[in-house]
């Protein structure tokens, strides 16, 4: 607890929000829910901060989840992601993910902005989900610009995978389809059937930029929402971490849910110390129940 007058660090009990905050939240027509690895912790997926235990114990993700690592040894990086996907596939949405999805029936507009790659918000039924760091279960071409320019090749775009075509017979105007049927599973690293490019999980690796369209849509939601609920993020990864602060600057109500304090706790209207699966259903029941 920080004892600031405009801020409540609370454990969830009845009426934790106080009447003014309760009313502002209750009247909100557009709520952005910003989530990090902590919301999936109770689904059995370790957070990034727990990366040296359990799932992440053998290899530091910062060594394998990079374009440089894939360029050097695509199979090692592919195998690491296959292993990660096996854990994530076993996980199911928890009460926190489900409460966020149910909120769609109570509030005019809900935008979920997630840093997670586990697809659990979609699995819970959330419809408007912005995946800032991509989705482990989609594939994308490995765009090796370094090699492309070193070889001086003509950068045609492949109609199937959307990357730079490795074969010159790809029609750049054919329109992008998807890579249906190909998935992240054990075996050799797959290649795009049309152009031969190596495929990779469609997630943002360390050192890579975020998709500007997705990031732009997240910034727009943070700027336009009446309330933002930040769940289970240490707020240490930029540019995602700036999103709750944009909402604060635009005057939205900001509530944080996290068992631990973060840099946001001091600035949020309320910082609720507790787990996502416990606090979210109770909070939503209290305000919209």
- Return residues touching ligand NAD (CB under 6 A): 36-42, 45, 47-49, 115-118, 133, 231-234, 236-237, 257-260, 262, 275-276
Closest by CA to 179, choosing from 129, 141, 232, is 141
**Shortest approach of ligand NAD to residue 48 CB, angstroms?**
3
**Close Cβ partners of 289 (under 8 Å, ≥ 6 residues apart):** none
Instruction: Give DSSP secondary structure letters for 14-35.
Output: TTTT-HHHHHHHHH-SEEEEEE
Instruction: Give DSSP secondary structure letters for 109-144.
Output: EEEEEE---S-HHHHHT--SEEETTEEEEEEEE---
133 is catalytic: yes
Q: How many CA atoms lie within 13 A of 211 on its CB side?
A: 15
Q: Which is nearer to ligand NAD, 8 or 116 (CB)?
A: 116
Q: Which is nearer to ligand NAD, 49 or 109 (CB)?
A: 49
Q: How many CA atoms lie within 13 A of 286 on its CB side?
A: 18
Six token digits for residue 6: 């405009």
Please give the span between the terminal C-alpha atoms of the chain, in angstroms, as a whole number.
27
Q: Which is nearer to ligand NAD, 84 or 194 (CB)?
A: 84
**Shortest approach of ligand NAD to residue 89 CB, angstroms?**
12
**Shortest approach of ligand NAD to residue 194 CB, angstroms?**
30
Six token digits for residue 117: 């790659």
Other CB atoms within 10 Å distance of the CB of residue 66: 16
**Shortest approach of ligand NAD to residue 248 CB, angstroms?**
17
Distances (CA, A) of 101 to 20, 32, 43, 121, 191: 25, 12, 16, 7, 35
**Shortest approach of ligand NAD to residue 210 CB, angstroms?**
10
Six token digits for residue 267: 């600035």
Other CB atoms within 10 Å distance of the CB of residue 95: 18
Closest by CA to 139, choosing from 176, 183, 181, is 183
Q: Which is nearer to ligand NAD, 158 or 281 (CB)?
A: 281
Q: Which is nearer to ligand NAD, 148 or 219 (CB)?
A: 219
Q: Which is nearer to ligand NAD, 136 or 252 (CB)?
A: 136
The residue sitting closest to ligand NAD, measured at its beta carbon, is 38
Residue 203, classed as helix, strand or coil, is strand
**Shortest approach of ligand NAD to residue 231 CB, angstroms?**
6
Q: Which of 81, 121, 133, 159 is catalytic?
A: 133
Which residues are part of the catalytic machinery?
A: 133
């Amino acid at each position: 607890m920080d004892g600031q007058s405009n801020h409540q660090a609370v454990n969830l009990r009845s009426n934790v929000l106080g009447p003014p905050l309760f009313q502002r939240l209750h009247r909100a027509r557009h709520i952005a829910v910003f989530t990090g690895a902590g919301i999936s912790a109770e689904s059995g997926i370790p957070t990034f901060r727990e990366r040296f235990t359990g799932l992440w114990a053998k290899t530091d993700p910062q060594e394998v989840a990079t374009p440089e690592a894939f360029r050097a040894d695509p199979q090692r990086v592919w195998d690491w992601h296959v292993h990660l996907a096996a854990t994530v596939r076993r996980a199911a949405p928890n009460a926190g993910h489900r409460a966020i999805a149910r909120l769609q029936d109570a509030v005019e507009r809900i935008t979920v902005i997630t840093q997670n790659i586990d697809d659990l918000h979609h699995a819970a039924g959330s419809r408007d989900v912005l995946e800032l760091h991509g989705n482990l279960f989609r594939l994308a071409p490995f765009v090796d610009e370094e090699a492309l320019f070193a070889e001086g090749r003509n950068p045609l775009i492949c109609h199937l995978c959307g990357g730079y075509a490795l074969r010159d017979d790809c029609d750049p105007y054919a329109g992008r389809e998807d890579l249906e049927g190909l998935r992240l599973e054990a075996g050799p690293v797959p290649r795009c059937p049309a152009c031969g490019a190596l495929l990779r999980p469609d997630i943002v690796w360390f050192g890579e930029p975020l998709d500007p369209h997705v990031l732009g849509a997240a910034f727009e939601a943070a700027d336009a929402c009446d309330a933002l609920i930040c769940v289970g993020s240490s707020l240490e990864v930029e540019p995602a971490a700036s999103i709750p602060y944009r909402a604060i600057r635009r005057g939205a109500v900001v509530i944080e849910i996290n068992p631990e304090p973060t840099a946001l706790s001091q600035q949020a209207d309320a910082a609720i110390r507790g787990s996502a699966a416990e606090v979210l259903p109770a909070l939503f029941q209290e305000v919209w129940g």
